[in-house]
Amino acid sequence: MIEVKNITKTYGVGDTAFQALRGVSFTIEDGEFIAIMGPSGSGKSTLMHILGCLDTPSSGTYQLDGKDVSQLSDEELADIRKDKIGFVFQSFNLLPRTTVLRNVMLPLVYAGVEAGERERRATVALAASGLDASHFFHKSNELSGGQIQRVAIARALVNNPTLILADEPTGNLDTKTGEIVLGTFQKLNEDHGRTIVLITHEPDIAEHAQRIITVRDGVIVSDSKRHQRRNARHAE
């Protein structure tokens, strides 16, 4: 699904130039659950912006589903984001006085999907995210933090994206609620085959993924599979 080759990203010019990424290369297969981990300033957020087509690399190539998106225009990148990528953020980014169902339907409104089909897709996405149907007509400001994040996950799913990018999705949640949300990602990956890339600075959060890519000072310092350990913890 994803092939990144020798990606660099430099901000500024001359004496003020800062190289956030320095020759990063890796692949992600369809249906993998990956964590990209690193401390603040490591380059993981820059990498997420490139994977999410929110930014372009200074050099190198990024192929998504066989298409090189490294040199696309802003309009072409917007189309990729709309059609292929679902985002889940730490800050939720929901409309507070709007119902859960309408929040999830919003991307479909922008995509020009007919009203009845919008509701059907939103209902399916909410069910996949694990939110109980009794909450569909609640306003988002009437829900708990964990429930709100599940709504945000459903919104990311509603356009049936190829890739789900989750940027510190448990950062505003307590530990127990965070575990529930991470379990939702695991279920989406295991039961529905969704490809998920989780951005985090916390090792215990990264442990929920099948594979951990660790970034430091703009380079990958480790890339390890955690499949067997994760399955053992899940069975336990």
Q: Which CATH number belongs to the domain containing residue 202 in this structure?
A: 3.40.50.300
Query: DSSP of 77-110, one letter per residue?
Result: HHHHHHHHEEEEETT----TTSBHHHHHHHHHHH
* Confidence band of 93 (pLDDT split at 50, 70, 90): confident
pLDDT tens across 19-53, in order?
A: 999 999 999 999 999 999 999 889 999 999 999 99
**What is the token pair recorded at 53?**
């087509």
Residue 141 has pLDDT above 50, yes or no: yes
Over residues 221-225, mean pLDDT: 93
Write out the E strands in the chain.
2-11, 18-28, 33-37, 59-64, 67-68, 85-89, 163-167, 195-200, 211-216, 219-225
- Answer for the pair 29, 207: CB distance below 8 angstroms, yes or no: no
pLDDT tens across 157-166, in order?
A: 998 888 999 9
Domain of residue 168: give its range: 2-235
**How confident is the model at residue 227, as a pLDDT?**
53
Please state the domain count of the chain: 1
pLDDT tens across 97-119, in order?
A: 899 999 999 888 888 889 899 99
Q: Give pTM, 2 decimals.
A: 0.86
Residue 124: how many other CB atoms lie within 10 Å: 15
φ, ψ of residue 53 to 5 degrees: the values are: 60, 30
Q: Which residues pair with 216 in a beta bridge?
A: 219
